[in-house]
A and B are shown apart, each in its own frame.
Chain A
Amino acid sequence: MNDFAGTSTLVRLALRRDRVIVPVWILVFVGMAASSAQASISLYPEVQDRVSAAETSNSSPALVSLYGRIFDPTSLGEVSLFKLTSFGALLVGLLAALLVVRHTRTEEETGRLELLSAGVLGRYAALTSALIVSVSTVLVLGLLTALSLIGVGLPASGSFAFGLTWAAAGLAFAAVAAVAAQVTEGARTANGLIAVALGVSYVLRALGDSASEGGARWISWLSPIGWAQQIRPYAGDRFLVVLAPLALMVVLVSAAFALIRRRDVGAGLIRPRPGPATAAPSLRSPLALAWRLHRGSLYGWGFGFLLLGFVVGNIASDVDGFVSSQSAKDLVEKLGGVSGLTDSFLSAEMGILGLLASAYGIQAALRLRSEETALRAEPLLATGVTRARWLGSHVAMALFGTGVLIMLGGLGSGISSGASLDNMGSQVPRMLAAAAIQLPAIWLVTALVVLLFGLAPKLITAAWGLFVAFVLLGQFGPIFDLPQGLMDISPYAHTPRLPGGDFTAAPVIWLAAIAAALALTGLTTFRRRDIG
């Protein structure tokens, strides 16, 4: 039997399963690029405007590390789109990788692949079909993005280079996912490995880009996201750089095939070890179980937050020295800060950490629904555990987890900025306060998941949609000059800007009260509905 037999059938199956979600994602990306380009083009009609904006950005290590360097300050396309280049590449990489895992390890873990394997199906068919679907998705995405950018009036060559930038990241991370899916038996672990790879790539690029002239800028070249950016759309259009992700793809995909050859269907490279025959005395409550279920991912996220905090704090210590021009200062202050350039940078970064912690909170609270649909809630609720205690256990883990994460971020940034500014004693408590102040908004967004869980469990993933809407309102609202009333819908708009800004208790209390009301409504409705 051919090792690839059945690949085309699986491709059709995958396309059928993804017929809604993939086109929607492609549209989101294309729309994001086109609307952002359109909005920015009108901001910089003259070369002079672009050059000054680009120099402002290039002279700020914070912006360079966040978005990357602008290679050609005169280029309309690059100045308009630089914020989306590496950031978008990160997201396209995530999409491509998730698609691969979805059609390989997830299928294997649930046993659906085994059902199919009994038919005529080669051992490489699942991975091959997943790669075909993922690669086609990013290629179509890149192509449509390029066409939409040409449509809003940008040069054709640069637009194709921009599409290729995004697609290149997709190719590289589809290949990363192909290997990650072979390592363990759980799709969750595979997704975790991918998240780590994406994070490391982004940080490497940020480190390399923010290095000074003649410094370690080569570090960016260790990162697939760095490669994507080095295609330099609208600033040289170096199409050949795409050979780097392609080479990585050849290496990783061959490795993945070699790994498949060595393992059984359903098994991972890492064999699960036997565990204890009896439960520890502490495993005697829903909360203890919830801690067991959440702690692994919390450790990983916690490490990431501490690291991010250090990086952010480190960059912050340079801000004052680097930003010399008045326009740069204006820009950084516009980013959300209030007084003192370093503080405004730190408060903006703390806001970003707050968004990331919210993503953790949403994901942790969504566990409620996945436990329910996997029929793992039922046996617990058939014991002496009340619905309130069971729901409370996961909500407590979500709220506690977000608290731990944001405080770790605050601690890391406090230590590293305090160390270089030589005021550790005051900087650490200031940053911890700045971190803590993010919590009410984070908890409100987490509580939205609880509300949906009680009220409309089938629509629970809409919580991600609301979250993305809040983020877009916050990030792009000012660019599009949206009315303040609309931007105020986002809970993040009400978080006081710390450190440096004025602290007012009222909005914080309001956010916390609304979060509590949402969570309680979720609990009340959950107690009244059917399980399953």
Chain B
Amino acid sequence: MTSAIVVSGLHKSYGSTHALDGLDLEVATGEVHGFLGPNGAGKSTTIRVLLGLLRGDEGDVSLLGGDPWRDAAKLHRRLAYVPGDVNLWPNLTGGEVIDLLGRLRGGLDPKKRDDLLRRFDLDPTKKGRTYSKGNRQKVALVAALASDVELLLLDEPTSGLDPLMEEVFRQCIEEERHRDRTVLLSSHILSEVEALCDRISIIRRGKVVETGTLADLRHLTRTSIQAELAAAPNGLAQLPGVHGLDVEGNRVRCEVDTAQLEGLMKQLAASGIKSLVAQPPTLEELFLRHYEDDAVAPEPVGAVR
């Protein structure tokens, strides 16, 4: 598998602010890659380095096999970018902006353009200054999605869209996946990333702290278990990877490191399982685990009180 984007050890400072602090990121060709992080983590800075708008201080960046700083214009013909903050020229209509951006990228599929306008319910005859934030976002989305490109760089593309339009956006990305296009989707909307992305990188304070498929990441965290047993359990507390154990007669609740799930199941089965509920960790839990500890020292999940 080739990689559309390879970033290693990327640093970028603005004055005394260290926006990127040794960031590594790899996006495989043909995958939809989620780029998760809270405001100010460095998502936009990374994307703008990938676009050659900013120059990294240190580290290697390769985009579609080229150097985004040196070959910017050449590479840009093969990608489309949707910024999180779309500003339009006040006296150009949305339709004009879509056509202009498409032409500057080297081509636009007119059928797809009309189809997207219809699906996003966007009036292309309005002037730039009269669009709402959501509609400005749609202009950039239509321009990007209607272009015939290999790579989509989307920086919080659904900000300002209503839930109905978010759904349209998801369908569009689904379709792009079937066309084998590569998508880097920066977002802080977890459900969006969970629904769309093959792989995810979580960024925090200018560093990627976790990367992999959702399944991989889940593996790193805990599954919560509720079980009703035939007899009182024993030996659970000694099992590795079991946390927050709460036993009430024949009922058991606990959290278990996903890697240690098998051991726990064997031990529970020894007491005879009458019912069992296992919940995989949500992305929220994954995500929060990486952010919570900024404010307060983490409390062990489900600690015994």
| Bind each other | yes
A531/B96 contact (C-beta < 8 A), A276-B125, A383-B76 known: no
A382/B81 contact (C-beta < 8 A), A274-B93, A274-B126, A275-B93 known: yes
Given A274-B93, A383-B101, 18 extra CB contacts under 8 A = A273-B127, A275-B96, A278-B96, A279-B100, A280-B96, A284-B104, A285-B104, A289-B89, A292-B91, A374-B87, A376-B87, A376-B88, A376-B89, A382-B53, A384-B74, A387-B72, A530-B54, A531-B53
Instruction: Give the shortest distance, in Å, between A528 (CB) and chain B (any CB).
Output: 8
* Residues of B with C-beta under 8 A to A285: 104
The answer to the question of A379 belonging to the interface, with a C-beta cut-off of 8 Å to chain B, is yes
Residue in chain B with minimal CB distance to A288: B100
Residue in chain B with minimal CB distance to A529: B55
- The 4 A-B residue pairs whose C-beta atoms are closest, nearest first, are A279-B99, A383-B104, A274-B125, A275-B93
Contact A379 B54 (CB under 8 A): no
Q: In the bound complex, what is the Cα–Cα distance between A322 and B82 (angstroms)?
A: 66
A283/B100 contact (C-beta < 8 A), A276-B95, A383-B105, A384-B106 known: yes
Instruction: Give the shortest distance, in Å, between B232 (CB) and chain A (any CB).
Output: 60
* Residues of B with C-beta under 8 A to A185: 90, 129-130
The answer to the question of B77 belonging to the interface, with a C-beta cut-off of 8 Å to chain A, is yes
A384/B73 contact (C-beta < 8 A), A296-B91, A374-B87, A530-B55 known: yes
The answer to the question of B85 belonging to the interface, with a C-beta cut-off of 8 Å to chain A, is yes
The proximity string for A residues 364-381 relative to B, scoring 1 for CB distances below 8 Å and 0 otherwise, is 000000000011101111
The answer to the question of A118 belonging to the interface, with a C-beta cut-off of 8 Å to chain B, is no
Q: In the bound complex, what is the Cα–Cα distance between A64 and B15 (angstroms)?
A: 55
* Residues of A with C-beta under 8 A to B153: 382
The answer to the question of B112 belonging to the interface, with a C-beta cut-off of 8 Å to chain A, is no
Majority-rule SS of A interface residues: loop
Residue in chain A with minimal CB distance to B44: A532
The answer to the question of B269 belonging to the interface, with a C-beta cut-off of 8 Å to chain A, is no
* Residues of A with C-beta under 8 A to B73: 384-386, 389
* Residues of A with C-beta under 8 A to B104: 284-286, 380, 383-385
The answer to the question of B261 belonging to the interface, with a C-beta cut-off of 8 Å to chain A, is no
Contact B129 A293 (CB under 8 A): no
Instruction: Give the shortest distance, in Å, between A148 (CB) and chain B (any CB).
Output: 41
Instruction: Give the shortest distance, in Å, between B122 (CB) and chain A (any CB).
Output: 10
Contact A186 B93 (CB under 8 A): no
* Residues of A with C-beta under 8 A to B129: 109, 185-186, 272
Chain A's interface size range is 35 or more
Instruction: Give the shortest distance, in Å, between A459 (CB) and chain B (any CB).
Output: 16
Contact A276 B96 (CB under 8 A): yes
* Chain B contacts with A in 74-116, Cβ cutoff 8 A: 74, 76-77, 79, 81, 83, 85-93, 95-101, 103-106
A384/B95 contact (C-beta < 8 A), A277-B124, A530-B55 known: no
* Residues of B with C-beta under 8 A to A278: 95-96, 99, 124
A275/B125 contact (C-beta < 8 A), A375-B83, A380-B104 known: yes
* Chain A contacts with B in 258-287, Cβ cutoff 8 A: 272-280, 283-286
Instruction: Give the shortest distance, in Å, between A498 (CB) and chain B (any CB).
Output: 38
The answer to the question of B51 belonging to the interface, with a C-beta cut-off of 8 Å to chain A, is yes
Instruction: Give the shortest distance, in Å, between B170 (CB) and chain A (any CB).
Output: 23
Contact A386 B53 (CB under 8 A): no
The proximity string for B residues 49-85 relative to A, scoring 1 for CB distances below 8 Å and 0 otherwise, is 0011111000000000000000011101101010101
> Taking each of A273, A383, A531, which has the highest tally of chain B beta carbons within 10 Å of its own beta carbon?
A383
Q: In the bound complex, what is the Cα–Cα distance between A531 and B81 (angstroms)?
A: 15
Q: In the bound complex, what is the Cα–Cα distance between A79 and B104 (angstroms)?
A: 60
Binding site for A on B (CB under 8 A): 48, 51-55, 72-74, 76-77, 79, 81, 83, 85-93, 95-101, 103-106, 123-127, 129-130, 140, 153
Q: In the bound complex, what is the Cα–Cα distance between A284 and B106 (angstroms)?
A: 10
Binding site for B on A (CB under 8 A): 109, 185-186, 272-280, 283-286, 289, 292-293, 296, 374-376, 378-387, 389, 528-532
Q: In the bound complex, what is the Cα–Cα distance between A385 and B99 (angstroms)?
A: 15
Contact A375 B87 (CB under 8 A): yes
Instruction: Give the shortest distance, in Å, between B81 (CB) and chain A (any CB).
Output: 4
Could you pull out 17 A-B pairs where Cβ atoms are within 8 angstroms?
Answer: A185-B90, A274-B93, A275-B96, A276-B96, A277-B124, A279-B98, A280-B96, A286-B104, A375-B83, A375-B85, A376-B89, A381-B76, A382-B51, A383-B77, A384-B106, A528-B55, A531-B53
Contact A386 B91 (CB under 8 A): no
Instruction: Give the shortest distance, in Å, between B4 (CB) and chain A (any CB).
Output: 16
Contact B90 A186 (CB under 8 A): yes
Contact B93 A276 (CB under 8 A): yes
* One of A277, A293, A379, A384 near B93 (C-beta < 8 A): A277
Q: In the bound complex, what is the Cα–Cα distance between A245 and B90 (angstroms)?
A: 35
> Taking each of B52, B73, B97, B106, which has the highest tally of chain A beta carbons within 10 Å of its own beta carbon?
B73
* One of A289, A378, A383 near B83 (C-beta < 8 A): A378
Contact B100 A284 (CB under 8 A): yes
Instruction: Give the shortest distance, in Å, between A18 (CB) and chain B (any CB).
Output: 25
A272/B95 contact (C-beta < 8 A), A383-B105, A384-B106 known: no
> Taking each of A276, A293, A380, which has the highest tally of chain B beta carbons within 10 Å of its own beta carbon?
A276
* Residues of B with C-beta under 8 A to A284: 100, 103-104
* Residues of B with C-beta under 8 A to A186: 90, 129
Q: In the bound complex, what is the Cα–Cα distance between A381 and B53 (angstroms)?
A: 8
Contact A379 B106 (CB under 8 A): no
Contact A532 B53 (CB under 8 A): yes
A379/B99 contact (C-beta < 8 A), A384-B76, A531-B53 known: no
* One of B72, B74, B100 near A289 (C-beta < 8 A): B100
Contact A277 B125 (CB under 8 A): yes
* Residues of A with C-beta under 8 A to B105: 383-384
Instruction: Give the shortest distance, in Å, between A456 (CB) and chain B (any CB).
Output: 15
